[in-house]
Chain A
Amino acid sequence: MSVRNLYQQMILDHNKNPRNFKDLELVTHRAHGKNPLCGDDYFVFLHVDNGVVEDIGFKGVGCAISKSSASIMTTIIKGMKVDDVLSMKDDFIALLTRDDVSEEQKKNLGRLSIFEGVKEYPVRVKCATLIWRALESSLLLEQSETVCTE
């Protein structure tokens, strides 16, 4: 597995032109995710209505892995049910940390599976998962707080 596989075109593209890189007007959930070790630092904003993610945005700074992960995440979960988002988060984290992820799970992750290569770079796993941790905390807590991945 070469480093070029890690930095695939889609990742570079979302890093350079992050999607949904914005504040929202109507925010029902928000969270701050940061990784004090490397300085990745993002806010995620959601507009959830009736258990469905109506809109999502994020802002912040960080490496290509964390930023592209955030950007791709926003494009995928917009319109999804909160319950499905949370189970997708579990699958995504499993993809990066475990060896026993089924083909079925991988298929459900769709484009997110391009991050599978990150598994080979253990110090970078927290970059890719940061935004998902923040997302989780924003959805689970009424008053969301800062999450740290370290």
Chain B
Amino acid sequence: MNDDLRAKFPLISNSQIAYLDSAATAQKPKIVSDTMYEFLTKENATVHRGVYGLSQRATDRYDAVRESVRRFLNAKSTREIVFVRGTTEAINLVANGLGKAYFKPGDEILISEVEHHANFVPWQQLANSNGLVLKTIPVNDIGELDMTAFEALLTTNVKLVAIAHISNVLGSIFPVNEIIKKAHAVGAKVLIDGAQAVSHMPVDVQALDCDFYCFSGHKLYGPTGIGVLYGKEEIMTKMPPYQFGGDMIESVTLEETTFAPLPEKFEAGTPAVVEVLGLGAAIDFVTEIGFDRIHAHEMDLLLYATAALKQNPRVDIIGEARNKASVISFILEDVHPHDIGTILDDKGIAIRAGHHCSQPAMLRFGVSATARASFAIYNTRDEVDRLIDGINFVLEVMT
């Protein structure tokens, strides 16, 4: 049972909504908003600048979150933890840096064919501007990565593999361990888009040995506007800055600027201090619950919902990887997902409908859109039951 956890989410416990769209953004526990509010009302100051105590305390708290993130990902050093706006910015930062300091014309980038646009368009644009070749790794009909095809694509021309840890459309957990080992064997670097993963499973970047790992705070029960880029120190040292301005310089003369060391080199401007502290609270919150409990609860909901949906012959689940997170995309015969979304909303059930920022994935499965239900620590079997009843209601209204 998770009543104790539900009670910690004001929006969840104060409303009748069955919120089944946590893969888009998770609801926030009170401790996250409290942390942000307390800071704003009692401790607000900028960081790394003020000589007064208030600013020093803000700086200490800010730096402490970087250490929390380091521990959360088991990175070697806080120099490898860069605060960004979210996964999207993290990937753009890496694309910019590698574009200027790493790739040569003709180099190849491999991504999966079901990536979120955030891990697709930056590489496509870079390929277009720098004369690189972007190739996609296919997934099979149940949504698992085709590892044979991957190995065939993986030549020494490949300089980067950029792939989701968990697909936001299919829920598939991709075998990143194996992907990273094989990519490294041909000398390619690996970026993992962890946007969907960090709320569901522990991540150890040293054990994975990935070169970059990205995630967004808002899908991890934290605030929007903050995310994390992990990058190996030796690579990020060679990457040029992404943006220029205050906080990222060492010294500036009229002729020349030398840049601050990592990670500040990549953090131009006044940082999102409040959001960073909110992220810190979210990480503490998740860590305290523990991934054993999170995993057990979410798997229970996934299996329960999958079995119930399969009872209905008019439902088709898109993505049935054997290794899967609590995300279910589905279609209902010829009922358009937007109509499903509107009708379920009438019953107080919030799901996602659309292409999930992944049009290539829709193309792969021959649909223009899907409905998607995703489950988090605050969801219940009761809400799954409501979804199932809701789907029957959709079919009733539409026929």
A and B together in one complex? yes
Contact residues of B between 214 and 245, Cβ < 8 Å to A: none
Residue of A37, A41, A64 with highest tally of chain B CB at under 10 A: A64
A7 with B353, Cβ < 8 A, contacts A41-B368, A61-B368, A64-B398 known? no
The majority secondary structure among interface residues of chain B is helix
The answer to the question of A65 belonging to the interface, with a C-beta cut-off of 8 Å to chain B, is yes
In the assembled complex, the CB of B114 is this many whole angstroms from the nearest CB of chain A, namely 16
CB-based nearest B residue for A62: B336
Bound complex: CA A33 to CA B342 (Å): 22
In the assembled complex, the CB of A54 is this many whole angstroms from the nearest CB of chain B, namely 31
CB contacts (< 8 Å) of B343 on chain A: these are 3, 7
Proximity bits, B76-96, A CB within 8 Å = 1, else 0: 000000000000000000000
Proximity bits, B377-399, A CB within 8 Å = 1, else 0: 00000000000000000000111
A63 near B397 with CB under 8 A, answer: no
In the assembled complex, the CB of B330 is this many whole angstroms from the nearest CB of chain A, namely 16
A127 near B398 with CB under 8 A, answer: no
- Within 8 Å by CB of B397, from A4, A38, A127, lies A4
B338 near A38 with CB under 8 A, answer: yes
A37 near B339 with CB under 8 A, answer: no
CB contacts (< 8 Å) of A38 on chain B: these are 337-338, 353-355, 369
A64 near B339 with CB under 8 A, answer: yes
A39 with B342, Cβ < 8 A, contacts A7-B397, A63-B336, A64-B398 known? no
In the assembled complex, the CB of B318 is this many whole angstroms from the nearest CB of chain A, namely 15
CB-based nearest B residue for A61: B368
B342 near A3 with CB under 8 A, answer: yes
A127 with B368, Cβ < 8 A, contacts A3-B343, A3-B346, A38-B354 known? no
- Within 8 Å by CB of A7, from B359, B369, B398, lies B398
CB-based nearest A residue for B367: A39
A39 with B362, Cβ < 8 A, contacts A62-B336, A63-B339, A65-B339 known? yes
- Within 8 Å by CB of B354, from A3, A37, A41, A64, lies A37
In the assembled complex, the CB of A6 is this many whole angstroms from the nearest CB of chain B, namely 7
- Within 8 Å by CB of B338, from A4, A12, A63, lies A63
Bound complex: CA A38 to CA B337 (Å): 9
Contact residues of A between 18 and 39, Cβ < 8 Å to B: 37-39
Contact residues of B between 341 and 366, Cβ < 8 Å to A: 342-343, 346, 353-355, 359, 362
In the assembled complex, the CB of B349 is this many whole angstroms from the nearest CB of chain A, namely 12
CB contacts (< 8 Å) of A4 on chain B: these are 397
The answer to the question of A106 belonging to the interface, with a C-beta cut-off of 8 Å to chain B, is no
A39 with B346, Cβ < 8 A, contacts A63-B338, A64-B339, A64-B398 known? no
Bound complex: CA A2 to CA B343 (Å): 9
CB contacts (< 8 Å) of B368 on chain A: these are 39, 41, 61-62
CB contacts (< 8 Å) of A40 on chain B: these are 338
- Within 8 Å by CB of B342, from A12, A62, A124, lies A124
CB contacts (< 8 Å) of B338 on chain A: these are 38, 40, 62-63, 65, 124, 127
CB-based nearest B residue for A6: B342
A64 near B346 with CB under 8 A, answer: no
CB-based nearest B residue for A60: B368
Bound complex: CA A65 to CA B335 (Å): 11
CB-based nearest A residue for B340: A63
Give 24 pairs: A residue, B residue, CB < 8 Å, sorted on A: A3-B342, A4-B397, A6-B342, A7-B398, A12-B398, A12-B399, A37-B354, A38-B338, A38-B353, A38-B354, A38-B355, A38-B369, A39-B354, A39-B359, A39-B362, A62-B336, A62-B338, A62-B368, A63-B336, A64-B335, A64-B336, A64-B339, A121-B342, A123-B342
Interface residues of A (CB under 8 A from B): 2-4, 6-7, 12, 37-41, 61-65, 121, 123-124, 127
